[in-house]
Amino acid sequence: MPELLTCASIGTLAPDFVLVYADGRRVTRDELRGRPAILAFYPQHWDPARAEQLAHFNAMVSAAPGISTKVPLLADLDPFGEAAERFGVLGEHAVFVLDADGVILWSHVGAVAQSDLDALTDSLKSRALAVLEATDDAATGGRDLLFNPSRRQFIATVLAAAVVLAATSAVSKAESVSKALAPKNVAAIPVTLNVNGRAVALTIEPRVTLLDALREYAGLTGTKKGCDHGQCGACTVHIDGRRQLSCLTFAVMHANAKITTVEGLASGDTLHPMQAAFIKHDGFQCGYCTPGQLMSATALLREPCGTADADVKECMSGNICRCGAYPGIVAAIQEVRATSRG
């Protein structure tokens, strides 16, 4: 049986705490009374605020029979760790099962090894049986109850707590794998890039993206880092005349290529026709996506794109404007295309 660590003691009233929901609503321990509860704490470096992680967690909990409610993670509702500190588990993996009166029935503190998971869940089930026996005794005039929910309610809580432990184990394993796969220090190498018609000599690690090489090493900050995942188009540059997302390629791969950034579109003080058209048609608002939009738009002039506005929208679909300046962008592109054809 693995050691059970109890910071907030079993059989005692849980420390008072406040949960802060995304909408600003604040819920205290006493306001959660009336039904069993599971408090699952996770270290802050595991980010449950990400929607997909929280959805996955609740999907795991909901898979247990009898579970119908979502189980929030306190790392999401306790952003400053105040509740975790009250329980004495700040920065730790921890699971607490509370009864309907807020009394701690069972707890485990620390990451769960896969090999220990069965023993821990057996311990939790044993606690459930003991409490249910107490319920039966009380029903026949026996001893006082520590906990008095319905059987279904308690069994559902126990099953959910078991799933929480499994999730803790999975997170712990993922963290171990992440640490094992963490990149080690890599020696920097000399690379010379041809950017906007001039040679730029850099000393960078092979894993540096072209986007970071341009912004952080070459000082060309016109190319923007939006999503850094190849989804928004803000980092678009031209490589040998073709548009490419600079966040998805390594700088060392383009030592012999001709790279053009937004700084290279104008000719001295004379704007590129596409830049002038963007200004004329208000093809931007905040301007953050504009460099990528301009690079895609100028590349489009050399690409097989239909003449209709719908064709332009399709060809520019890889560039997102969160301000919604799309009508101006399309109008600017169409004007430059018409002028070029003329």
- The string of pLDDT tens digits covering residues 270-289 is 999 999 999 999 999 999 99
Report for 59-63, 124-128, 164-168, 196-200: range of highest mean pLDDT:
196-200
Cα–Cα dist 102/82, whole Å: 18
Residue 10's pLDDT is what? 76
Q: Is the pLDDT of residue 207 over 80?
A: yes
The bridge status of strand 189-195 relative to strand 258-260 is parallel
Q: Is the pLDDT of residue 309 over 90?
A: yes
Residue 263's pLDDT is what? 95
| Under 8 Å between Cβ of 154 and 98 | no
**Cβ-based neighbours of 314, under 8 Å, separated by 6 or more:** 305
Start-to-end Cα distance in the chain: 82
> Coil, strand or helix: which one is 297?
helix
Residue 115's pLDDT is what? 59
130-171 pLDDT, tens digit each: 655 655 444 433 333 333 445 555 555 555 566 555 555 554
Q: Span 243-270, mean pLDDT?
A: 94
Residue with tokens 């599971």: 38
Report for 43-52, 186-195, 325-334: range of highest mean pLDDT:
325-334
Q: C-alpha distances in angstroms, 142 versus 30, 134, 135, 166, 297?
A: 28, 8, 9, 35, 80
Residue 154's pLDDT is what? 54
Residue 129's pLDDT is what? 62
| Under 8 Å between Cβ of 95 and 29 | no
- Strands across the sheet with 189-195, in order? 198-204, 189-195, 258-260, 236-239, 242-245
Confidence of residue 2 (pLDDT cuts 50, 70, 90): very low
Closest Cα to residue 38, out of 172, 173, 163, 170? 163
Closest Cα to residue 206, out of 226, 183, 229, 225? 183
Closest Cα to residue 74, out of 84, 86, 61? 84
Closest Cα to residue 66, out of 200, 176, 158? 158
Confidence of residue 116 (pLDDT cuts 50, 70, 90): low
Residue 337's pLDDT is what? 94
The mean-pLDDT minimum among 15-19, 59-63, 272-276 falls in: 59-63
65-99 pLDDT, tens digit each: 544 445 554 445 776 778 888 888 877 777 787 77
Cα–Cα dist 257/300, whole Å: 20
Residue 295's pLDDT is what? 97
Partners of 243 in the beta sheet?
Answer: 238
Residue 49's pLDDT is what? 44
User: Percentage of the chain surpassing pLDDT 70?
Assistant: 63
DSSP code of 242?
Answer: E
| Under 8 Å between Cβ of 339 and 301 | no
At 40, which amino acid appears? A
Confidence of residue 320 (pLDDT cuts 50, 70, 90): very high
Residue 220 tokens read as: 């060309």
At 307, which amino acid appears? T
| Under 8 Å between Cβ of 278 and 329 | yes
Residue 76's pLDDT is what? 58
Other C-beta atoms within 10 Å of 330: how many?
Answer: 19
Name the more confident of 162 and 234.
234
Residue 319's pLDDT is what? 96
Other C-beta atoms within 10 Å of 123: how many?
Answer: 17
Residue 1's pLDDT is what? 34
Confidence of residue 53 (pLDDT cuts 50, 70, 90): low
